[in-house]
Chain A
Amino acid sequence: MPRTPRIRKAPTARTARAVRTVAVAAAAALVARRALRHRIKASPLWPMPALETPVSGKGRDAQVTTTSRQLTVAERTEEAAGVVRLRLAGDGLPDWEPGAHIDLVLPSGAIRQYSLCGDPATPGSYTIATRLIEDGRGGSREVHERLHEGTAVEVRGPRNRFRLDECHAYVFLAGGIGITPILPMVRRAEREGVPWRLLYAGRSRASMPFLEEIEKLAAPGADRVTVVAEDEDGRPDLAALLAGAPPYAAVYCCGPEPLMDAVAALLPDAPEGLTLHTERFAPAAAPSPAPAADNVPFEVELHRTGRTVTVPAGTSILRAIRDQALPDLPYSCEQGFCGTCQQRVLAGEVAHRDELLTDAERDDSLLICVSRARDGGRLVLDL
C-alpha cells in the first residue's frame, strides 16, 4: 500500500516539474527575445564595442593628389598690379571647400601649390591667383610668363589643410596674396549668416587683389572689413582687431611669415578661447619625381637588429636590407603605393618618393621600397 501512492505520485510530480521548467524557460526566452529586439531596435549596432580611434573611412588624401587632371586656362585676368587670376576649366572636377589648394604642375615640371579663390558652387573650373615674386623660386614667373588662355596644365588635388571649421564667429586676417584662401571663407560665412570680420593688409591698394569684391561684401556693416594699405595707412593694428574679437571665435590667418608670427604673439592677450588657424604661403615643397642627383649611396642603421646596411646607388633600402640583414622583411608592390613595407624612422632626413603616406605619417615613417635618405645622409630605422 505505501508503494502505490509513491509510484503514482512520482511521475505526476516529475511531469509537473518538467512542465513548469519548460514554461519558465519559454517565458524567459520570450522575455529575452523581446528585450533583445527592443535593445537592437533602439541601437542597431548593439552589442559590439568600437575601436576608440577608428582607422577605416578616412580615405587617403595622398591618393586624391595622385589623380591628376589636364585642365585648360580658360580665362586670364590682371587682378591687381603684379597679380594674375587664372580660371582653369575641365570636366568632372571634384568639389572643394574653402581653404583648399591644388598642386599645379608647371610646364617645366615644377609643382606649386595655389589656394582656390573662386566659388565652390561653380562647377567645371578652379580659380587661382598668383603674385609675381621677382626673387622667388621661379614658379610664379612661370605662371605669369607661360600660362596663357588656352594653355593646357596638369592639376592634382584639390587638398585641404586649412579647413574652415564651424564656429559662431570668425576673424579673418589676410596679408597680400594671402587673401586667396580667405576669400571663399568670407563668402561662406556671409552666405551662412555667421558674424565675421576681416583685416586685409597689403603694400598699396593697387597691389591688393579682390579689393572691389571685398568692399562690396562689407557694405551692409561697414566696420566688418578693415583694409590697410601700408603706403597710405601704415601698419595694421592687429592688437585692436584681436581685442575686438568675440570670445571663442575662430581666427583664420594667411599671409607673410611676420604677420602670422605677430598674430600668434598677440593671441595670449586676446579675448578668451580664440583658436588660431594659419596657412603659410610656401608649404614644404611637394615630392618631385626622383632627381637623379638624389640617387647616391647612404647608410641605414637597423636599431633593434643592431646592424648597419649600406644602400648602394640605384638599389632600394628594401633590397639592401633584405640582401644584407633581414631576408623576411615584408613588402609587395616595390613601387611605393601598397604600403606593406612601411617602417618607422627614428632619426635622419627622408626623401619621400611614395604616393601613399599622409604628411603626418611621413613625419615618422617611410616606405623603404622607394624612399631614400636625403642628400646621402644616414637613417636609423626601428627594425
Chain B
Amino acid sequence: MSNTASLRPEPVASEHIPLKARNVAFDWADTPLHWIPGDPATTHTINVLHLLLPAGERWFVHVYKQVLPYVRDARLREDVIGFIGQEAMHSQAHDGVLPHLRAQGLDPTPYTAQVDWFFEKLLGDRTLPPGRARKWWLLERVALIAAIEHYTAFLGDWVLNAGALDARGADPTMLDLLRWHGAEEVEHRSVAFDLFVHLDGGYRRRVRTWATAFTALVFLWQRGIRFFMENDPTLIDGKASFREFLRAGRQGVLPTAGAMTRSIPQYLSRTYHPSRYGSTAQAAAYLAGSPAATAAESRTPGGA
C-alpha cells in the first residue's frame, strides 16, 4: 500500500491560496518597441507571449466553462472559477499590448489570426456526437491545458526571479504585466493539474498531451520569433537564431536551455504535483506590491 501511495502526486497543502481575478489595466504609451534596451531578439522572444496568450487563454476559459458541470469537489470548483477569471484577465491584458505594437509599425495580425484559427477551430468544439466522443475531446483538452500550465507556471516562476531583466533596464510597465501574470500563474499553478487528475488523470494521456503541447509550443514560439524579427521595422536584416536564445539564457534575460530541459522529466514523473515547484508566498508578495495589482485593488468596490 505504501509503495503505491508514494507513486501518486502529493500536493503541498501550504501552497494553496484562494484565487481571485484582478481588474488590471496597463498604459503602454511610454513603452518602447524594444522594451529590453538594445536586445530586440530577447524582447521579441518574450513578445511572442502577446501573440499566443490572448487566443490561448481565451480558449482555456472556453474549455473550463464546459468542464464546470463535471467538477464534483467544492474546493476544486472554487479554484476553477477563480482560475477562469484570472485567465480571462491575462488574455485581455496581453491583447491590450497588440494595438501598441501595431502603432509602432509591427502589425501582429497576420500571426494572431493564425493563432486564433489554431485555438478557435483546430482546438475548438468539434462537431462530435454527444456522449463518449465529446467527453473524450473535452478530457483531451483539459489534459492539454494541464500540460501548458506546467510551462506557464515554469515561466511565471522564472520571471519573478529574473533580476537580470531589471538590471538591463527593461520597461517597468511590461515587467509589471509579465510579473503580475507570472505571479497569478504561480498562484493557480495546481488548478489545471488537479482538475485533470480529478476528471481523468491517466498517465498515458498525460504523456500524450504533454508531447502534443510541447511540440505545438516550440513550433508556435519559433514561428513567432521569426515573424517578429523579420517584420520589425527598425531591424534591417532581423533574423531569429538559436544562438541568440542560448546567449540570452546565459545572461539571465530568458530561461536557460538547461532549466527548460529539466522541466520535462518533472512533468512526466508519476509523482509530479505543481505545488512542489515555485513559491506561492513569493507570488503573493509580488502581487501585494505590483503597481497594476494594487491599482486594481483600489478600483474594486469593497475589494479584499
By a beta-carbon cutoff of 8 Å, the part of chain A in contact with chain B is 44-45, 48-51, 54-60, 63, 66-67, 92, 94-95, 328, 330-333, 335, 337-340, 355-356
Q: Please determine whether B95 and A333 come into contact, CB atoms closer than 8 angstroms.
A: no
Chain B nearest CB: distance from A237 CB in Å? 41
* Chain A residues in 8 Å Cβ range of B54: 55-57
Q: Assuming the A-B contacts A59-B95, A332-B21, A332-B81, are A45 and B89 also in contact, with contact meaning beta carbons closer than 8 angstroms in the complex?
A: no
The segment from B7-15, B40-48, B106-114 that touches chain A is B106-114
Query: Is residue B230 within 8 Å, beta carbon to beta carbon, of the partner chain?
Result: yes
Q: Which residues of B in the span 5-52 have a Cβ within 8 Å of any Cβ on A?
A: 20-21, 23, 25, 27, 29-30, 51
Chain A nearest CB: distance from B241 CB in Å? 14
List the A residue with the shortest CB-CB distance to B54: A56
Chain B nearest CB: distance from A382 CB in Å? 15
Chain B nearest CB: distance from A176 CB in Å? 33
In whole angstroms, how far apart are the Cα atoms of A332 and B92 in the complex? Answer: 15
Q: Assuming the A-B contacts A45-B111, A333-B23, are A55 and B120 also in contact, with contact meaning beta carbons closer than 8 angstroms in the complex?
A: yes
Q: Which 4 A-B pairs have the closest CB atoms?
A: A332-B85, A50-B113, A57-B98, A51-B116
Q: Assuming the A-B contacts A55-B116, A57-B102, are A338 and B84 also in contact, with contact meaning beta carbons closer than 8 angstroms in the complex?
A: yes
Q: Assuming the A-B contacts A332-B82, A338-B85, are A54 and B25 also in contact, with contact meaning beta carbons closer than 8 angstroms in the complex?
A: no
Report the contact-size class of chain B (Cβ under 8 Å from the partner). Answer: 35 or more
- Choice from B64, B69, B226, B299 contacting A44 with Cβ under 8 Å: B226
The total of interchain contacts (Cβ-Cβ below 8 angstroms) comes to 118
Q: Which residues of B in the span 114-158 have a Cβ within 8 Å of any Cβ on A?
A: 114-118, 120-121
Chain A nearest CB: distance from B12 CB in Å? 25
- Choice from A44, A66, A333 contacting B230 with Cβ under 8 Å: A44
* Chain A residues in 8 Å Cβ range of B82: 332
Q: Please determine whether B227 and A49 come into contact, CB atoms closer than 8 angstroms.
A: no
Q: A51-B120, A56-B95, A335-B300 are in contact. List 19 more A-B contacts (CB 8 A).
A: A45-B110, A49-B114, A50-B116, A54-B112, A55-B55, A56-B55, A56-B98, A57-B102, A57-B109, A58-B98, A92-B27, A95-B29, A331-B81, A332-B21, A332-B86, A333-B88, A337-B21, A338-B88, A340-B84
Q: Please determine whether B223 and A44 come into contact, CB atoms closer than 8 angstroms.
A: yes
Q: Which residues of B in the span 47-89 have a Cβ within 8 Å of any Cβ on A?
A: 51, 54-55, 58, 61, 64-65, 68-69, 81-82, 84-86, 88-89
In whole angstroms, how far apart are the Cα atoms of A340 and B64 in the complex? Answer: 10
* Chain A residues in 8 Å Cβ range of B51: 56
Query: Is residue B301 within 8 Å, beta carbon to beta carbon, of the partner chain?
Result: yes
Q: Please determine whether A60 and B95 come into contact, CB atoms closer than 8 angstroms.
A: yes
List the B residue with the shortest CB-CB distance to A123: B29
In whole angstroms, how far apart are the Cα atoms of A339 and B58 in the complex? Answer: 10
Query: Is residue B249 within 8 Å, beta carbon to beta carbon, of the partner chain?
Result: no
List the B residue with the shortest CB-CB distance to A95: B29
In whole angstroms, how far apart are the Cα atoms of A340 and B95 in the complex? Answer: 16
